[in-house]
Structure 1
Amino acid sequence: MGPSGFEALDLAGIFVFAVSGGLAAVNKRLDVVGMVVLAEITALGGGILRDLVIGDVPPTAFTSLGYVLAPLVAAVLVFFWHPQVTRVLPAVQLFDAAGLGLFCATGTLKALDHGLSPLHSVLLGVVTAVGGGILRDMLSGQIPTVLYDRQLYALPALLGASVVAAARALELHGAGVTAGAAVLAFSIRVLAMRHGWRTPRPRGVPD
């Protein structure tokens, strides 16, 4: 995938994650400053961690104006029109699932492009996908969702990232592969929320 295609997918993930951060701020009754902080952290946290690990410094979030403006646009959208946003897509988790899918795919792709092994690229793709959400949950006073993966949060990201790595190993390239992996992760996450699919707890630990 060319740089422009990768950046477009990355920006899409940044925007939808920022919306989820903004809506989380609304739910916590934060002011505009808190909303912008949560939107920026949710959108950029995972990508910054990814770039630091692969040595792509300074991280893209600090060199591309679009990476900073996209969360700001999302925060403004939520600030003024959050009732309309929640009516169109009523759950914060839906935006979060979209960001999860996009970031697990683009994070894995960027790691592969920087020479990491498929296994390490998959792991970094998962970190890219869940990193911003972890920071969002911690700042808003919640246990990070990934620590109690009861409705399949990290697992969809792992599957999406694995598809990207497997496609590269089979020499399958293009935006379609990356988008398909993102849709797969998104779909599994949404189906898990809808049907209550859960990962098991240790033996003897009650639900």
Structure 2
Amino acid sequence: MKDHYSFLAPFYNQLSKLIFDDQLMQAKTYFVEDLSNKKILIIGGGDGLDYQSFQAQLSGEYWEISKAMLSKAKSNLGESGLSFHLGYYQVEKEGFFDEVWLHFVLDTMRDEEIANLLGEISKSITPGGRIYLADFFAPQNTFQRIMHRSMITFFRIITQHKRASIPDYEEILVADNWKKSSEKEYVKAWVKAQVWEKN
């Protein structure tokens, strides 16, 4: 599998902070709480740098399709209790994870891929477990629309990004019997952090 993110891996985090300051990191960590005794499934975690400050509390699995990003995550989260996996998530232990973190990954997937992934997550999560989603939502003004179009064009060229639009996360999650329990907005509601629980 070709690593389309190898070019970006060395400076992806710096580029993100240059454009968005710390707001994407804040969206990824706002709902992080009481990680002791929890098994966490992180899918598409990138270089893992945003989780570094609390890595000692992390236990579970980390899945990433980019070999370069996964290598950086292993280095950045070397003191965690995570096991690292290259490729697309595959269920290894049913009913094992207390939380699934989907941080800026669903917007890279087609709707049917998201639906399939949610099916795998439903097998993997414990009763009462939750999904912690953080991602870009519909742009709220002209500047955001221009920025968003530019970002999608950039990622489609550099990383073979599959999408030209934002998924309707909420419609897809509700269709799979998930219920939103919490939400926090960033970047004037262009970015949102959400917690979803199974109905």
TM-score higher than 0.5 here? no
| Structure ranking higher in strand proportion | 2
| Structure ranking higher in helix proportion | 1
